[in-house]
Chains A and B, each alone.
Chain A
Amino acid sequence: MPQIFPRKANSLPAVSLMGALGGGIVVVLVIWYYFSPRFTDVGYQPAQPVPYSHAQHAGQFAIDCRYCHNHVETSEHANIPSTQTCMNCHSQVRTESLKLLPVRESWATGTPIPWVNVHFLPDYVQFSHAAHVNVGVGCESCHGRVDQMEVVSLEEPLSMSWCLDCHRNPEEHLRDPAAVVQMGFNEEVRADGESFAAYVDANRARVEAEGIQPPQNCSACHY
């Protein structure tokens, strides 16, 4: 029988088998990382219509988050403040600033400022700020160190597994509701392992005492 293929074709089955195996693993790993919100979404930092600095207002001036986002404790939605909230101060402070021109325009015409949403959740997810804030999930746990951001960017992936990480282990993330707006708190409690363990233990007791049961069923968020 004549040879149809060269001798080196003998290695083809082994090579293709290994290639399929290796290729399969590579594809899974690539999708696992590059198709996840940790890669695609984190770091999203859209340009805002007004060069408003959270670093200055929330950091330097230490204005309480809830001064502007004043519905977080009562509403599902953490509201974007209206122009009126800005003008509470800026009708007297920096009234001539060019940077504030869009705010004054909005104030004069009654047209809202088109702030750009940074923290998107899919339409089929229901998330209540009030439920989280009142039980003691710090602002920074989801939004990062906003007090250090000139322009707000997305810090956390906001993926479902990321939500579940906390819902499954609430004791690692809860804090006293009074300290909910405190920035740098998470870093502080995690500074050394021993005190963090004590902190988690205390939280565990609290979770038990208050019956905090973050739901893990589908209809908790998808309804």
Chain B
Amino acid sequence: MATTSTYHDTSLAYPDGVPKTLADAPLVAGNLSFHDVTELVAGHTEKKTPLFWFFGFSVALFLMGIFGLSISYLVWNGTGTWGVNNPVGWGWAIVNFVWWVGIGHAGTLISAILFLFRQRWRTSINRAAEAMTLFAVACALVFPTFHTGRPWLDYWMLPVPNQMAMWPQFKSPLMWDVFAVSIYGTVSLLFWYTGLIPDLATIRDRATGLRQKIYGILSMGWTGSNRHWRHYERAYLILAGLATPLVLSVHSVVSFDFAVSIVPGWHTTIFPPYFVAGAIFSGFAMVLTLLIVARKAYNLENLITLDHLEKMNIIILVTGTIVGFAYITEFFMAWYSGVAYEQYAFRNRMFGDYAWAYWIMMSCNLIFPQLFWFKKFRRSIGVMFFISITTNIGMWFERFVIVVSSLHRDYLPSSWDYFSPTIWDAGLYIGTFGLFFTLFFLFLRFFPMVAIAEIKGVMPQANPHFYDHAHGDGAAGDASEATVEAVPAKSDEVGR
């Protein structure tokens, strides 16, 4: 292996010196070889389970127990156990639904839109982000499913022939939600799974016994042949094309739940773009929260570099500012419309009973992300972790402000009321974290958390001319050997 050092040398990949700007920075640090990447990512599914995993997983399972308890209590007693009251019929359930669905936006944005825009840095984070998306959508679906009060009749929302001759009311935005979210979930799952197949095959090829059988079934007979890759790339592109409009449509449709109604504070045309921006904002924050911890815990700092995190921070800054701009636009429109109800709704947001929630939202969503104007903060793990958390708090409060502060001041002053959640509202919300983290910990343990095959494609070695420099050095014999070495010959290197 005399040549190994040759292709570990960055000066070969970057003959003009290591680039200084973020856009040109290497996407994989630490001079890793293809095999190192495989070892690093696939290895975590093979090694002894680390202690911190058991600790995290048992916390998640404990929260999952709260989830089971809250759901059982809810089904047994009905939604009356929640704090929802007459003007505020949509309490935490809808707040949590919109919050989780919003978080679920980052995955598909990263995997589909950034893919179509050839943002090669997505490859380090897309797998975990897509997994997070799926689990967030699962958590989101819990809330409307059980908010119906009689979840065993939820099939009424599907166009299935039945003895009641009942058909869904397609004029209702709530029906659009059913289809938007279920299509989004399905396409996200397909997209995630399609991307997983080559990596599952990599794990299969390194495994023996039952593990080999299980990953063998999951990888669906992938051999890494040229034909497989051609089909795979085509399928991936088609799915990216399908998923791209969904990124925009799902949260637009969710916003229609509000915008189509006549409640002051909801009835605005700005809602779809404002919701989509907010969704991307909160989704990226959640990806950050998870990956800051995961990259440290699993030693993935070379794959998910500080540059990746900085790029995500820029997206958070941009989307956070769009969201803040939307908040201010809403105030302008309330004033400019001259509608007294609208004006009252927005005055009430700022200074009414829920002013505390409003100011939490404003500071978390508009003010804190502005720190990211400074490169020092964009590259500070502590600051970005703090902002990723406050962003998710802020985005939760955004939905809380929209849902509760608009509803609690109805057109009819006699029905005005104050909404307070009960312990069962909180139980179900905390419980969905159990569901989310249980699934996420299982994902970390059993699936490749970084897209192995894809990340190899953005490494310097993937450049066909990567080894040419060795040739130019005059060491002709060595160079040709190096070229042969670099071609993944071993079975664990199906892929690129």
Contacts and interface: CB of A to CB of B under 8 A. Distances in A.
Interface of A: 1, 4-5, 9-10, 13, 28, 32, 35-38, 157, 159-162, 164-165
Interface string B204-238: 11000000110010001101000000000000000
A125 to B, nearest CB: 11
Interface stretch (B35-43, B158-166, B286-294, B353-361): B158-166
B164 A10 contact: no
B163 A161 contact: yes
B166 A160 contact: yes
Interface string B130-171: 000000000000000000000000000000111111100000
A200 B216 CA distance: 66
B329 interface: no
B213 A38 contact: no
B491 interface: yes
Interface in B447-496: 491, 494
Given A1-B491, A4-B212, A5-B216, A160 B221 contact: no
Residue among A1, A13, A164 with max Cβ neighbours from chain B (10 Å):
A1
B155 to A, nearest CB: 10
A161 B160 contact: no
B165 to A, nearest CB: 3
Contacts of A10: 221
B163 A38 contact: yes
Residue among B160, B163, B212 with max Cβ neighbours from chain A (10 Å):
B163
A4 B221 CA distance: 9
A160 B163 contact: yes
Contacts of A36: 162-163
A161 B165 contact: yes
Given A4-B213, A28-B160, 15 more contacts: A1-B494, A5-B216, A5-B221, A10-B221, A36-B162, A38-B163, A157-B163, A159-B163, A159-B164, A160-B165, A160-B166, A161-B162, A161-B163, A161-B165, A162-B163
A164 B212 CA distance: 57
A29 B494 CA distance: 45
B160 A37 contact: no
Contacts of B223: 1
Contacts of B491: 1
Majority SS at the chain B contact face: loop
A90 B161 CA distance: 50
Q: Contact residue range for chain B? A: 10 to 19
Contacts of B160: 28
21 contacts: A1-B205, A1-B494, A4-B204, A4-B213, A5-B216, A5-B221, A9-B221, A13-B220, A13-B221, A32-B162, A36-B163, A157-B163, A159-B164, A160-B163, A160-B164, A160-B166, A161-B162, A161-B164, A162-B163, A164-B165, A165-B165
Contacts of A28: 160-161
A13 B197 CA distance: 14
Contacts of A5: 216, 221
A37 to B, nearest CB: 6
A5 B212 CA distance: 10
**Interchain residue pairs A-B with the least CB separation, the first 9:** A161-B165, A160-B164, A159-B163, A36-B163, A4-B216, A164-B165, A1-B491, A161-B163, A37-B163
A5 B164 CA distance: 48
A157 B212 CA distance: 54
Contacts of A4: 204, 212-213, 216
Contacts of B494: 1
Interface in B87-119: none
Contacts of A9: 221
A205 to B, nearest CB: 27
A4 B200 CA distance: 14
A186 B221 CA distance: 64
